[in-house]
Amino acid sequence: MANRKDSRIEPSFEGPPQARSQPGLSVSEEDRVVPSNRKASARRKSSKAKSSRGGRGRSRRGLFGVLGRLFYWCFVLAIWGGIAVAGVVVYYGAKMPAATTWSIPDRAPNIKIVSADGQLLANRGMSGGEAVGLHEMSPYIPEAVIAIEDRRFYSHFGVDPIGLSRAMVTNLIGGHFSQGGSTLTQQLAKNLFLKPDRTLERKVQEVLLALWLEHKHTKDQILEMYLNRVYFGSGAFGVEAASRRYFGKSARDVTLSEAALLAGLLKAPSRLSPARDPKAAEERSQLVLAAMREEGKISDKELKTALSAPATRAPSYWTGSENYVADTIMEELPDLIGDVRGDIVIDSTVDLNLQKLAEQSIRRLIDESGKKLNVTQGALVSIDDSGAVRAMVGGYDYSTSQFDRASEARRQPGSAFKPFVYMAALEAGRTPDSIRNDAPIKIGNWTPDNYGGKYFGKVTLATALAKSLNSVAAQLTMEVGPNAVVEAAHRMGIQSELQANTSIALGTSEVTPLELTSAYVPFANGGYKPDIHFIRRITTAEGKVLYDSGGGSAPRVVKPEIVGMMNSMMTGTVEVGTAKKAAFAWPSAGKTGTSQNSRDAWFVGYTANLTTGVWFGNDDGTGMKKVTGGALPAQAWHEFMVAAHEGVPVRPLPGTWKSTPADTIVPDDIPSADNNQPAPVPSASVGQQAPSAQPTQAAAPARVARPAQTVDADGFNMPADDGTTASVGHPVPPGNVGGPLKKRKQTSILDILGGG
């Protein structure tokens, strides 16, 4: 039995346990029971659930991983950024002077301006102001300054992160620098110790010095130092000087509206100065008052009272036209030497005797004829051949109006612009003997009538310029193109934007007397364009030279032969043309100009020593009563130039030109101009040396007067320079272009602006 038992064959079964437990049961492969679908489904669901939980876990772990990595790298970058910032601070901080030298000066420096002959021209800097304690000055002043400049002054630590962030966002959105984030402490640090350069080095050092100031001084001390040193425009440093400058009173007595005006100047002292632009200053002061009300510094009643009674300016205690020059010098000073750290002496180019002479001439003519001719203002600029300004009068009376009409007022030059038209024509191949037909013409909707309605028919260009014929100037502009005229004017020294249209022939684009006069200088010195300057040298009180204009060389901007032809033609303006009242014993040339309805009257003329421009008109643009450039301007020019040339040896104008007509008188013994002609040197008694690159020209006999010739009209054919029919690239209008004029009309300003 044992053997049987041992020989029993056990079924090969891998099924469920309960099946295996039954003895004697044998199941074939085909008889296997298929597992329950429910259990298999349960297993699948369990597997899916595990997979889903694992996926969500991995997703969460992935998100946290990305955030973690981002936080990690931001932290790393922040550390390296902090290290870089610290490195920059340490680097620029190491370049600062030792802290022992950070002493605050007792007062703002004085600026002494002297004339070319050593006379005192002006004293600026403190300008009569003294340091005023914060408790002494009107309380409205510090309140107004804090409200508009630094609202968190008493809460920040010298640097205002909120204000800086706001300024950065505003500048980024605007795409340009329009708002600053500097605190009053930073501004004081810059004014006391640093240069005005907009560099990273200066900004870092400004922050460090601001922190030092906050550590060493109280808020009230910082504010007091700031108010006693900051620039308020028109040469006034410190609140006391500004109060006396604008209101004729001490800072102790300033009213609310006056304090608002002073605080408003700090954004742009020169541009917003009430002496320059009263309207802009008043608009800015209203913003200050609104800021004070918003900050709770003033009540609604005080705001209403201040708005209804704006600040009024007192006549300046600075009198004399030389202060126009002093103001201009003060504007240029920061660009030449940066912030003034100590007392300095400025040697100007201005001759005080000539300055007084120019002022007297302008005032006398207005006093005598102002009411009768409706003239209230005048300006005069005189420049020698080296570009040194020898005299500049910016208005009738500096004490009542500090607006500089010589360097800031842009007015239409009228026919005084025509020399650039004729110069462009000469450079295109014309000559003074070229003939054009002076007759009524119409170009588009523009009819450039001659003054007085008189026409001369066929005339030479010399005659046309001497008699200031509008018709011929318009024709030449069409021939050479307005762009050529604009290019010539800019090349000679005009800086204002010029409109390149046909009406530019009559001077419709506005310019300042200073730039128009400077653009005539190359005619006087042989074709060279010098740098126009008011300052010769700047030294410390101890004599150390901080700036020297030097001699230097001036570039040639017009050929000698063109200079000779232009001088020959413009001599006719003085001898037989529209400026006969300007003639005196020296060889001279120039051009008159009168804008529409006599709003502006000009004469710009020159000798081999001086170029002088004179303007008369009214600030509000109202017309004068038939005042032309050949009247008051020519008279003022004559008076000034006669006195300026007294005792000076006579010298001829540079360049010569021989006319082809037989009736033209030109001496045979004067050599013709060539490209090697040197620039003349002005007389020592009248101006500085001309550019050092050019040698001195020996004196030559004065040219015999060559009157401009008028040719009778016998038709409308336009001969060219060689006597044949004209053939030029641009159209040459005949006298009847546009059809016959049934009734001649006066040129209106709308016609001029819309013409061409």
Q: Cβ(559)–Cβ(699) under 8 Å?
A: no
Domains in the chain, please, with CATH?
132-308 (1.10.3810.10)
* Angle, CA 342 vertex, CA 340 and CA 346 arms, to 5°: 70
C-alpha torsion angle, residues 401, 123, 144, 252 (rounded to 10): -100
- pLDDT for res 711: 30
Q: Hey, what are 611's tokens?
A: 């170029």
pLDDT tens digits, 681-703:
333 333 333 333 333 333 333 33
Strands of 457-569, DSSP E: 457-460, 535-540, 545-548
Centre a 10 Å sphere on the Cβ of residue 681 and count the other Cβ atoms it contains: 23
Contacts 24+ apart (CB under 8 A), 736-743: 736/439, 736/441, 737/441, 737/442, 737/443, 738/441, 738/442, 738/443, 738/447, 739/442, 741/440, 741/442, 741/447
At residue 270, the pLDDT reads 80
Let me know: does 253 contact 381? Beta carbons within 8 Å: no
pLDDT at residue 445, as a whole number: 83
Q: Distance between CA 572 and CA 662 in Å, rounded?
A: 17
The residue from 115, 285, 361, 415 that is catalytic is 415
Each residue of 626-641: pLDDT tens digit? 999 999 999 999 999 9
At 726, list the tokens: 């004209």
pLDDT of the residue at 181? 67
Residue 510's CB is within 10 A of a number of other CB atoms, namely 16
Give the span between the Cα atoms of 265 and 285, in whole angstroms: 8
Task: Name the residue among 584, 577, 275, 517 with its Cα closest to residue 400.
Answer: 275
Sheet-wide strand order for 389-393: 389-393, 377-384, 610-617, 600-606, 589-594
Query: Average pLDDT by consecutive 10-residue portion of the chain (756 residues)?
Result: 46 46 48 51 56 58 75 82 70 60 63 91 65 92 96 91 73 58 86 68 80 91 91 82 86 95 92 83 94 95 92 72 93 86 91 96 96 96 96 93 92 96 96 94 86 90 94 94 96 94 92 98 96 95 90 88 96 92 94 94 97 97 94 96 94 84 35 31 34 35 35 29 31 34 37 32
d(CA 422, CA 488): 10
**Residue 149 a catalytic site member:** yes
**In which element (H, E) is residue 561 found?**
helix 560-575
Catalytic residue of the set 149, 206, 240, 322: 149
Question: Each residue of 112-165: pLDDT tens digit?
Answer: 899 998 998 888 764 445 678 999 999 999 999 999 999 999 999 888 888 777
pLDDT, tens only, 306-357: 999 888 876 665 679 999 999 999 989 988 988 787 889 999 999 999 999 9
What is the reported pLDDT for 292? 96
pLDDT at 46: 58
pLDDT of residue 343: 85
Return all residues near 276 (Cβ < 8 A) that are at least 6 apart: 233, 234, 270, 402, 403, 404, 408
Strands 111-114 and 344-348: parallel
